[in-house]
Amino acid sequence: MTTGLEHRRVAFVVANEGIEQAELVDPWNAIVDAGGRPELIATEAGAARAYHHLDPGDTFTVDRTTADADPERYDGLVLPGGVANADRLRTDPDAVAFVRALAARAPVAVICHGPWILVAGAHWVDEQVHVDGALVSSRKPDDLPAFCEQMVRAFARAEPAVPESVGAST
């Protein structure tokens, strides 16, 4: 079943180590279930290692690096949490540039420590999910069901970045 994300490409931007697995996998699956095309973009090529808090989790194949990814190709941005992930990501100049460019023109969904790369005088609210224009944010993994629902809605409302005939095959 799809719900409006057909032919939409969503960038999941991570460091190669320290991603909170549930905060990567649940939103990823929500995008796929809604008909979208998620891509894993990391600071380095190869694989990205996720964790269940401090315990090693699965590894995931990186589709593109932050240096090579073109923000104009994406319709939305997801920033999963994980303390080490967020800390490494915010110090990578290519990641900062990619996130800044994409966030300026597309919906952004961030959870837990994911917002660190966006920090510029933010106001924290204690809510399961908070929608502020094109920004969807949540506090922690327990909020994932509400977060995923609002994330899909935000991405479905946005105009596609690449026309269907161009973006559907690449």
Query: Does the annotation mark 148 as catalytic?
Result: no
Among the options 7, 52, 53, 113, which is catalytic? 113
| Spatial distance between the Cα atoms of 155 and 107, rounded to a whole number of angstroms | 6
Query: Does the annotation mark 112 as catalytic?
Result: yes
Among the options 112, 123, 130, 148, which is catalytic? 112
| Spatial distance between the Cα atoms of 21 and 26, rounded to a whole number of angstroms | 8
Task: Select from 92, 108, 83 the least CA-distant residue to 17.
Answer: 83
| Spatial distance between the Cα atoms of 10 and 4, rounded to a whole number of angstroms | 13
| Spatial distance between the Cα atoms of 156 and 170, rounded to a whole number of angstroms | 20
For residue 63, the one-letter residue type is D
**Mind telling me the catalytic residues?**
112-113
